[in-house]
Amino acid sequence: MLLILWGVASYCADFRKEKWAEVEVARELASFVVKSGFTDLPEQIVCEMKRVLLDSIGCAIGGLMTERGKIVVKLARRLGGPQEATVIATNDKVSCANAALANGELTNALEFDALSRAGRHDAPIIIPAALALAESVHASGEDLILAIALGLEISGRLKLAVGGISTPIAEGPEKGKIRWPRVHGFSVITLGAAASAGKILTLNQKEMANALGLAGCLCPPSIVRKWMETTPITMSKYGPCGWAAHVGVISALLAGAGYTADTGLFNSEFGFWTYTGKAKGEWNMEPVLEGLGAKWHCHQICYKQYPCGDCLISLPEMLLQIMEENHLQPDDIERIKAQPHPVAQFTAWRENALTTPDDYCFNARYLLACAAQKIEPTYWHDPNIQRNPKIQEFLQRVEFAIIIDEKDFGLARLEDSSAWQMRIEVVAKGKSFRKKASYVRGASWLPEEFRITDDELIKKFGDNASRVLPLDKANKVTRAILGIEKMKNVNELMKMLAS
């Protein structure tokens, strides 16, 4: 009997200890966000936050041309509210929450937005939330940069608890095969948006913890695995980024007004990871607080050169390299064999029939056709380009084969966590030309030769902005963003962006 009582007491003590530790995670994250100041940011992070802000605003401007973009702008106008925040590159001012909704959708509409290493589509969720509130309270450029950095840091750290979508088996007869999670998604990024928004509002530690708790129960579901097995692809894709940005703003506003939430949301038995679909053993909280404030993750950003799903991102570049090096024209190409990231084996890519606007972002054949015809990437998803006779002729004439090799990818990833192993073979003029990309160009954590330069980002911004803004205005906006830490009031930037 004594042994049983001792066992029960021991279990309860362990449970209390575990539960207290989990409550401390939310409190520690809240404390970190509240206490961090602009001077705590390393120079490298300040630089990267300006780059990702420039890239995201450019993507949002390009997104105005899409059907999805037009829908959300119209909705933001209808919802209205106090005129405190701007729908990017328009004259529309609405409530900060509704501006975040529209701008999040605009930023993600072209599938051109930057990716975070751990959290993936963080930028179109966190940046619109921070930007809308920064404008509404007349925050400074320093305030905005700090809020974005902290939001990306919180999201990235929480994402470390569950890892990525493709985990190679490390040993045994199936070594190199990919273990695909049953549930995956970007719900956690909403907490980063709440942290950004809360920082702009200067919430105290208790309020910040409540903002995180609210975001945790209001966030969109983790639907990536469902989306991967669904065709045709709809505008909501893997989750509406604008809604997550909207929730981040609402969570911070409610917390600031005194609304309370469960700050123990990381309870390992029934908490955040469980109610967002993860089974016990599929998450590990240890990396979340490790080196907090000393070791940063927020600056690990990958910038896209082409508006497409990241599993296909190196294919257009390799095709263009082959064409340039061998003086090939589109009419010379007879056959293309491509090996993308193995996630392309799933329905969204494998059975993609180009029936919806968003199908085009994830169809390797179409993307390669646009690259071969040397169409500017910002126009790839325009309806008139999709119907372009040259594109249609290329799709019908050229033989395509998509090859999936999980083991090639998995074994390389076990050696180097940044490896991608994309390959392409082009048959033209009776000859075969091959390329291999071991890394995705654009990632800031890779060696210098794989990074996107400031000049390249400025050109991408200019190409996207040219859809709405005159050249002189676009250049003025570029200079303002790259020096935004000197700006006393973010409203100056939003006025520059107005159409």
Structural domain of 54: 18-302
- Say if residue 137 is in the same domain as residue 50: yes
- What is the domain count for the chain? 2
Helices (H) and strands (E) in the chain, counts: 21, 10
Take residue 85 and report the two structure tokens written for it.
Answer: 């925040």
- Say if residue 273 is in the same domain as residue 332: no
| CA atoms 306, 312, 316, 318: torsion sign | positive
Choose the final residue of a domain: 262, 286, 302.
Answer: 302
**pLDDT per position in the chain (499 positions), as tens?**
433 344 434 434 443 444 434 447 889 999 999 999 999 999 999 999 999 999 999 999 999 999 999 999 999 999 999 999 999 999 999 999 999 999 999 999 999 999 998 668 999 999 999 999 999 999 999 999 999 999 999 999 999 998 888 899 999 999 999 999 888 888 999 999 999 999 999 999 999 999 999 999 999 999 999 999 999 999 999 999 999 999 999 999 999 999 999 999 987 688 999 998 888 888 888 899 999 999 999 999 999 999 999 999 999 999 999 999 999 999 999 999 999 999 999 999 999 999 999 999 999 999 999 999 999 999 999 999 999 999 999 999 999 999 999 999 999 999 999 999 999 999 999 999 999 999 999 999 999 999 999 999 999 999 999 999 999 999 999 999 999 999 999 999 999 998 7
Mapped onto helix, strand or coil, the DSSP state of residue 425 is strand
350 falls within a domain: yes
pTM of the model: 0.94
Choose the final residue of a domain: 267, 302, 337.
Answer: 302
Q: Which residues pair with 428 in a beta bridge?
A: 333, 431
- Say if residue 186 is in the same domain as residue 137: yes
- Say if residue 242 is in the same domain as residue 138: yes
60 falls within a domain: yes
183 falls within a domain: yes
Choose the final residue of a domain: 421, 441, 461.
Answer: 441
Cα–Cα nearest to 197, from 142, 264, 255: 255
Provide the Cα torsion 252, 255, 256, 258; round to 10°.
170
- Say if residue 283 is in the same domain as residue 429: no
- Say if residue 184 is in the same domain as residue 147: yes
- Say if residue 100 is in the same domain as residue 119: yes
Report helix, strand and coil shares of the chain as percent, to nearest 5: 55, 10, 35
Cα-based distances in Å from 148 to 112, 219, 264, 476, 499: 19, 18, 24, 22, 25
- Say if residue 65 is in the same domain as residue 164: yes
Provide the Cα torsion 365, 376, 333, 404; round to 10°.
-30
